[in-house]
Structure 1
Amino acid sequence: MPVPYLILISGGGTNTYNLSLSLFLMVLGGFLFDFKFSTRMKRSKVKIGLLFLANIILAGIMPKISLSYNDGFRSASRFSNPSNILTVLIAVGIFTLIRQKFDIVKYYFILLFMIFGTYPTMVNNFIAVLNGHFKSGLFRYSFMALSVILLLVISFYFAKLIHRVAETNVYKRYSYNVESLQHPGGLIKGLKIIWQKYSYDLVALVVIYIVSICSFLVMNNSLHITPNVDRTYNVFIFTFFNRQSLILLTTLLVWIMFKFFQALTNRFWWGIGITLIFYIVWIISNIIKINARNEPILPSEVVMYQAYSSLIKMVNPVILLSSLVVIICLCIVIIFLNHKYVFRQLSLLSRLVYIGVAILIYGSCLFWNHEGTPIQSFMAGMNDQPMPYNQLSGSRLNGPLIQFMNNVDIKVMDKPSDYSRFTMEKIMERYRLSARSINKARSNDLNKQTIILNLSESYSNPERVPGIKLKADPMPFVKSMKKSTTSGLMISSGYGGGTANMEYMSLTGLVLANFSPTLVTPFTQLVPFSNHPWSFNQLFHESSVIHPYVGTFYSRTTVYKKFGFDKFIHLGSKYKIRHQKKIDRSPYLSDYTSYANTIDKLNSYTRTQFISLVTMQNHFPYTEHFYNGANKYQAFIKKASTDPETVAQYAMGLHYTDLALKEFIHKINKMPQPITIVFYGDHLPGIYANDMNKYGLKLHETDYFIYSNPAARRNGAKQKIDSDNVVGPNDFISMVAQQTNSKVTPYIALLTMVHRKLPAVSLKTNTSTANEYHSSPQFVNEKGEIVSSKHLTKKQKQLWKDYLLVQYDMTSGKHYLESSFFQKSE
């Protein structure tokens, strides 16, 4: 048996995986199983050498070519993946030489050098670094030559280490077992030996696999599953065929749990028994939680041990009693099996290894959401979809165990270096003075206004997207409103999704970009676990949310209760959605329905109030031809491969929004109470094929306007405030206060200064999409230009620092800021 060909695989990314796959399977696979292999290629060391030379030259110069022509590394790995015939032929040639009794020991370090030297991540990153640090070719290529020599030395000593490993007794036993499998009947004999030695472990593995499948299935309350709103599958077929990788991963996690408990108790039956009891109880607990609140168990709830007694009281006593009886019976069975079938106990070393492995594997979930790490790449490769914006769907797609672990790695914000009680007291006093200064010129109170914050789903002018022209204008009324009101463009921190993030920013005045990248959706990952989170509605005596859809998405039921809303009116709530109307074949309730229910709320409570209206009409998909007559808004597309029919369908939805909004404005104009409405689109639909790197900012611009009805203007509200061409959703609170001429709290004074003195803030628009790891802040000035934070003045930097400190104190700090900072006008 030849010396084993071991390859160290580190790093991550598609290129690494591709190269490792081709060489690992073709070379290492030949050693392990000694496959019969034949090739017509001449067994010539010279030809293999030439192939290697050609490949390494091409792989080495491709990053430079890519940099020169593509201004990036998009084509840097063209000659370092399995589709490259040179790489495949080299692997075949190496294996052919080895089959000739090639003296691999003599040339081992050369083979390792070939592997390391063509490692695409190493080559690409290496050349990229050199390109930035060595302007002179003389220094650059000299450094590369020295690096090659160093790589040869490392490969030489590493080869010696591998050869030493091959001489150990462990490897010799392994080699003997592999060779025995090649004899007639050797495979069957080997399988029998494995069965005799590990039969109970294998049976336990099968049982755990079956339980894992069941854990996925029982998260659904029907025979169908709808991963997205546009397609439904049979739950058995979808789970078994589409989620098999995660079922196997769940099986592995539960099996490791079994070995952990076996190691702790040093008893096989107690190990498997405790594991099954724990996991079945876990599954049932998730079912109960889902039935009660439409979401699975989350990590923060597990540590809320003070509330366990209250939670247990919510469970049906019959279920609790039955569960207790079943657990007692299982314990009796375990005790019987433990005496009837005695297994050899594990050695101390084995127990320590199992415990250590379990801690490492389960502890890895602390890094699952760290973008760009190998463990995050592995989880993505396993098709893990954390879905923080919909925990219920996440538990159905990933299973209750993996979805729970997906929510462990959450960090709200990095602590600012100078965060302290003293610092926050200074900030409190600074913005109390600012509030007093602002309030000298204002006469109204916010709680004496009716404010409607209208988030219009996916609303944005298609003709602002480069290369898009429409046959007709679908939004004439909104455009007319923008001419006579406070209006402009809102920079969204999402594209194609992220509704709840824009809603969070508009309700709290905080920006998503200040949070840790792992905190993707504050509605589900932050607000439910916060103590007394602040929201704009808390300044009003009465506040409601109207959302003509189900309330399970983004944990809205929990979030609105935490924010202190009095009512959440949605499909399935005790407050009925009335005037239900759908347009043509659309599955969503129309904007007519949204506005009709808002009018009902205004009529039923004639005093001032706050209403958050979140529409649903223009939600994706746009490819199902929901609307008739969409050819009226025929789209003409330049260059980009955007589908014109999809754009036309989307534009037809905008047309119906325009009509419904016009009717709604007409009705509130006749009402006696002072009403101010903030109308804004949350994000663009994900239907445009434009290059995000080039047109990212344009693909994050939505429309907004702020309008005060005649009664509000008679009460002192303004028709239009200073020009605000570009804003963020976090600016709306201060802008509403300014438009209604209302006095401000110290916190709104801070938001006012942020709005007036700083550019609009969003995530980086060339990379940010919906519900993914987000980026650092990006500033956009009034001209719609991205500006670097380095260009901020000293005063602007201090203001931004104050804002960051306040956000930290509100969300993850010690809450040094007093309630009067948020609630009391100075």
Structure 2
Amino acid sequence: MFDFEGDSRKGFSSLILPIILISTIITLFYPIVFTYFSNNSDTTTFVGLLIKNLLLISILVGSILNFLILAYIGRIRNVFVLLASAVSLIFIVQGIEASEKVNFETFSFFEQDIHYYFSDAFPIFYQLIFLVLLTFVGSKVDKKNIPIKSVFTNLVISNVFFAIFSNLKWFKELYWIRLFNIEIVSQSGNIWILLFTSICAYLLIYLIVKSWNMFLHMQSSITLTLFSSFVFAVVCNYYLQFGIRKEEMLLERYIFPGAIWFQILILSTVFFIIYMLINRYMLGTICLGLLVYILNVANSIKFELRNEPLLYTDLTWLKDIQLVLSFVNSKYVGQLILYSSIAVLCVFLFMRKFQNKKIVKQPIKRLLVLMVPIGLFSFILNVFEAEKDKKIVSGIPIISNLNNNYDIGWLSFAENARYKSVAYVWIKQLTKPLIDKPAQYSKTSIEKLINKYKSESEQINKERNANIEDETIIFVLSESLSDPLRQTGVKLTQDVLPNIHEIIQKNTGGTMISDGYGGGTANMEFQALTGLAYRSFSDSVSIAYTEIVPNLSYFPSISNQFQSKNRYVIHPSNSTNYNRKTIYSSLGFEKFISHLNTDEKMQSVEVVGANISDRTAYLNVLNRIDETSSQFFSLITMQNHIPHNLDSPSSIQAMGEDFTVEENASLTSYARLLSVTDRETKEFLGKLSEFDKKITVVFYGDHLPGIYPDTVFKNNPESQYTTDFFIWSNYQTKKTEFERVYSSDFIAALLEHTNAKVTPYQALLTRVAEESNNSIVDGEALNDLKLLEYDLTEGKNYLKNSLDFFE
């Protein structure tokens, strides 16, 4: 339609590149010059006003040039790229900001109404309409022999982006204050800092523009993959933090500086590696979309049940996927199926061209690209591994401030994830040692410890005349058992644990301090069997059986004092849970009786509520007791495990102050289940009394169920971790004064209750238990135990030539 003469076309072609570059420089340097000038010049003077107007004119000229070039290129698709880039940036920034505010008391995703984001929208709308018309005209111009490379097209679109959308309030605040905090750094008057931040902001816009251009052209590329990884990271970051939100401040902050950007960096790196490994854009996008959904649902469910974020060690549960799925609400499964179907449909209908295109075709180039994120991830891991005195090297952007400025490592996984990000907890788990090295650790200190407790054991044994291996010992871990009436504001129509209360009153018993809430069963079990204190190990340790046990040079256990053929573990669930099958095999247990994945199955199985009953568990112990030999039983029950669902007896009702209807219903079912445990436990002990041999039972609740709202523990935080325990024998024993213990104290309490002799190791545990009973938090005995634990795991194993210490 329109045509230029040959010479004029050639002349115009030679001008396009300089025009694009000049307009780009104007766009790039505008925030630098304008901000620097505003801080250092008086705009009320004639000269100041002149400079200001010249700046504005240059910006206007640059904007017009960019506008005309984009129109001249004549592709309507470029306008869609422009709009898509703007919308993307709005939601990226909003997602980042929302992640920083999820713990606010009045949090909502859109704190401002839609007018805030699209203020001055009408002038922009008119500009876009005008641009579309010009583009339509430009498409009719004969541009033969005037090639415009894609890189220049992307530059022009980026420049037009600034020209059109710079009037929006959100863009002003984003560009000047939020994205790189330009307003703050500009106060120093350092123009180099302004230059750096301006370039970073421009590169981000350019990356978004180029990615959308590639996407609309259905072209796989490293740039599009990098942008997609970043978008997935922003989305995943928001939902990870939202899933563990709590409306309160810590150290006068709702989240610590750098937490969000650190998590986005880690997630972007991991997602980009996944893209490169798959090397197909659409397949990688679908896989990452499903992965992000599953990660966030799992994180939300776990936090709801256990007040703990998703940890990388939770991957061990994939061995028992059936049990994992039992925790998942059917609505999530339905959503996953729906989203998967939509993703597959989109691929076949709209993006089939993407399917078979490799992101990087050359294997060597792909390997080189992969080395960049892997190198970055390795660098981050090395930085954290080199930590000394809880500090990493200073001067590393984001990471140093996040780790060094706020020491909350002593708090739970939940607090660290909430205020420092979930990814921070993952990295700490990967890099932190199992246990910190005690300052006094040496070969000499271990030798002194050995001699000290050999002497202690000799003194203790002078007053004791029994041997624990002459009895039958039954450890009963009662799933989620804890008296609900201990909690503030909880009322029951009747006491649901009358028999257990009476047993505690007449025998050795009291309260146990659990190391978990809503979960952590295996950690209580580990401590009860070994006497090793979970609280001595690093706060990054999640599951003792999978993280501590594989690193033990020697595996101490009270069961070692019994013959292997007389050691039994009974668990009415799956033997592979928490790697138990391997653990008990290592401990020399010849008989593992479980509901699933064992040669010897449970007998007389009945279900109460949603799980196998305590009656079934107890019967399977009773049926295996041999009056002619001493035996050791480790029984882990399941009846009171979530979900709690029991309709009778209707006479038992539970209510909590400010509980929801659902919370009261769950509490009522839980109370009814406890009443069943109480009745069956009394009957179990009654039947044990009929055997003509010495039997002692160590009975304890491992943790509270995760059914209570946080408000219940506000005035009494310790009640969140307090359960019940007793030690009972079918013969006359004295009631020992162990009213407050950890599960690691049960060996010592058992030996004192039965007046049994102790090994040097058990003499150490006896002194630790005495400190626990007297609420001594960091006593001499506990520090000695830490010394021993370090030697068994991270240390030089000086104990290897003195294993009689444990015998």
State the TM-score bracket (shorter-chain normalisation). 0.5 to 0.7
In structure 2, the CA distance between the partners of 1:495 and 1:210, relative to structure 1 (3 Å rule), is closer
Letter in 2 for 1:562: S
SS in 2 for 1:817: helix
Aligned to 2:89: none
Q: 1:34 to 1:750 in 2, by over 3 A?
A: same
Residue 602 of structure 2: aligned partner: 577
- The correspondence for 1:160, drawn from 176, 179, 195, is 195
Give the aligned partner of residue 681 of structure 1.
Answer: 701
Q: Does 1:455 align with 2:477?
A: yes
Higher mean displacement: 227-236 or 588-597: 227-236
Say which of 772, 782, 793 aligns to 1:759: 772
Kept in 2, the 8 Å contact 1:528–1:559? The answer is: no
Distance 1:226 1:817, change over 3 A: closer
Report if the CA contact (8 A) 2:101-2:107 is conserved.
no
The answer as to whether partners of 2:553 and 2:792 remain within 8 angstroms in 1 is: no
Q: Is the 8 A contact 1:368 1:409 kept in 2?
A: yes
1:482 CA drift (Å):
1.1
Does the residue aligned with 1:602 lie in a helix, a strand or coil? coil
1:89 aligns to 2:116 (yes or no) = yes
Alpha carbons 1:548, 1:570 under 8 Å: kept: yes
Q: Give 1:441's match in structure 2, choosing from 452, 455, 463.
A: 463
Structure 2: how far apart are the matches of 1:103 and 1:595?
73
Contact residue 459 and residue 684 of structure 1 kept, 8 A: yes
**Retained in 2: the 8 A contact 1:468–1:637?**
yes
TM-score, length basis structure 1? 0.58
Which residue in the other structure is 2:588 paired with? 564
**Structure 1 match to 2:346:** none
Does the Cα contact within 8 Å between 1:548 and 1:615 map onto a contact in 2? yes
Aligned to 2:176: 112
Partner of 1:663: 683
- In 1, Cα distance between equivalents of 2:550 and 2:635: 20
Give the superposition deviation at 1:6. 12
Task: Determine the C-alpha separation between the residues in 2 that align with 1:658 and 1:582.
Answer: 16
1:557-590: CA deviation from partner (whole Å, max 9, x where unpaired):
011112222221111311221121223xx23111
Preserved CA contact (<8 Å) 2:477 2:701: yes
1:614 aligned onto 2:678: no
Which residue matches 1:499? 521
- Residue 646 of structure 1 and its aligned partner are, at CA, apart by 1.7
Aligned to 2:374: 358
Q: Does the Cα contact within 8 Å between 1:109 and 1:155 map onto a contact in 2?
A: no
Which residue in the other structure is 2:576 paired with?
552
Cα distance between partner residues in 2 of 1:113 and 1:213: 31
Q: Does 1:422 align with 2:448?
A: no
Q: Which among 432, 441, 453 is matched to residue 454 of structure 2?
A: 432
Corresponding pairs, count: 568
Match of 1:743 in 2: 757
Residue of structure 2 in register with 1:724 after alignment: 738
**Any idea what the Cα deviations from partners look like across 1:507-559, whole Å, max 9, x if unmatched?**
11122222122210011223245444222211222321111111121111011
**1-structure distance, mates of 2:574, 2:462:** 44
Q: CA RMSD, aligned part only?
A: 5.4
CA distance in 2, matches of 1:196, 1:672: 76
Q: 1:807 aligns with which of 746, 771, 789?
A: 789
Deviations 1:129-174 (A, max 9, x none): xxxxxxxxxxxxxxxxxxx7x761267543233557899xx999x6
**Is contact 1:457–1:614 with CA below 8 Å preserved after alignment?**
yes
**1:260-339, aligned counterparts within 5 Å?**
268=361
State the Cα distance separating 1:687 from its structure 2 match. Answer: 1.2
Residue aligning to 2:409: none
**1:178-231 C-alpha deviation (Å, 9 max, x unpaired):** 6999xxxxx6997277789999999744466688899999x9999989534464
Q: 1:443 to 1:480 in 2, by over 3 A?
A: same
Q: Is the 8 A contact 2:472 2:696 kept in 1?
A: yes
Structure 1 residue identity aligned to 2:448: K
User: Using the alignment, how far apart are the partners of 2:215 and 2:772 within structure 1?
Assistant: 74
Q: Is the 8 A contact 1:550 1:571 kept in 2?
A: yes
Displacement, 1:698?
1.1
In the alignment, the residues of structure 2 paired with residue 525 and residue 560 of structure 1 have an alpha-carbon distance, to the nearest angstrom, of 15
Q: 1:226, 1:232 within 8 Å by CA — same for their partners in 2? A: no
Partner of 1:644: 664
> How far has the Cα of 1:823 moved from its partner?
5.8
Say which SS state the counterpart of residue 633 (structure 1) adopts.
coil
**Structure 1 residues 808, 239: CA separation in 2 closer, same or farther (over 3 Å shift)?**
farther
TM-aligned CA deviation for residue 709 of structure 1: 0.9
Letter in 2 for 1:755: A
Cα distance in structure 2, aligned partners of 1:432 and 1:6? 78
- Distance in 1, matches of 2:450 and 2:280, equals 61
- The structure-2 alpha-carbon separation of the partners of 1:465 and 1:822, relative to structure 1 and needing over 3 Å to count, comes to farther
Contact 1:225 1:235 in 2 (8 A): no
Cα distance in 2, alignment partners of residues 197 and 745 from structure 1 = 65
Partner Cα separation in structure 2 for residue 554 and residue 597 of structure 1 = 21
8 Å Cα contact 2:476/2:636 also seen in 1: yes
Sort the Cα spacing of 1:406 and 1:545 in 2 relative to 1 into closer, same or farther, 3 A: farther
In the alignment, what sits opposite 1:465? 487
Contact 2:617–2:635, Cα closer than 8 Å, also in 1:
yes
Instruction: After TM superposition, give the deviation of residue 94 of structure 1 in Å.
Output: 12
Summarize the Cα distance change of 1:653–1:354 in structure 2 as closer, same or farther, 3 Å threshold. closer
Q: CA deviation at 1:667?
A: 1.1
Distance 2:381 2:338 in 1: 24
Q: Is the 2:521–2:702 contact (alpha carbons within 8 Å) kept by the matching residues of 1?
A: yes
Would the alpha carbon gap of residues 37 and 433 (structure 1) be closer, same or farther in structure 2, given more than 3 Å must change?
A: closer
Secondary structure of 1:592's aligned partner: helix
Is the 2:290–2:340 Cα contact (8 Å) retained in structure 1?
Answer: no
1:227 and 2:325 equivalent? yes
Contact 1:568 1:575 in 2 (8 A): yes
Q: Distance in 2 between matches of 1:456 and 1:562?
A: 23
Deviation at 1:608, TM superposition (A): 0.9
Q: Output the CA distance in 2 between the equivalents of 1:221 and 1:442.
A: 45
Shift in alpha-carbon separation, 1:85–1:753, aligned structure 2, 3 A: same
SS in 2 for 1:85: coil
The 1:242–1:475 alpha-carbon spacing in structure 2 relative to 1, beyond 3 Å, is farther
Which one of the candidate residues 738, 741, 747 is aligned to 1:733? 747
Look up the match of 2:129: none
Q: For 1:308-363, what per-residue CA distance to the aligned partner results, in whole angstroms no more than 9, with x for missing partners?
A: xxxxxxxxxxxxxxxxxxxxxxxxxxxxxxxxxxxxxx5xxx97554233332466
Tell me by how many angstroms 1:495 deviates: 1.1
Say if 1:726 and 1:4 are closer, same or farther in 2 by CA, change over 3 A: farther
**Cα-to-partner distance string for 1:664-705 (whole Å, 9 max, x where unaligned):** 111111111111111111111111124244332112111111
| Alpha-carbon separation, structure 1, partners of 2:714 and 2:684 | 38
Which consecutive unaligned segments of at least 5 residues does structure 2 have? 1-22, 32-77, 87-96, 125-161, 226-274, 295-316, 344-354, 393-397, 403-412, 414-425
Q: Does the 8 A contact of 1:544 with 1:569 survive in 2?
A: yes
State how far apart, in whole Å, the 2-side matches of 1:435 and 1:503 are. 25
Structure 1: tracts of 5 or more residues without a match: 8-29, 39-58, 60-72, 120-147, 182-186, 246-254, 263-267, 272-345, 379-388, 390-403, 761-780
Counterpart among 632, 643, 647 of residue 651 in structure 2: 632
Distance in 2 separating the partners of 1:196 and 1:523: 41
Q: Percent identity?
A: 27
Aligned-pair CA distance for 1:35: 3.6
Cα distance in 2 for residues equivalent to 1:363 and 1:96: 48
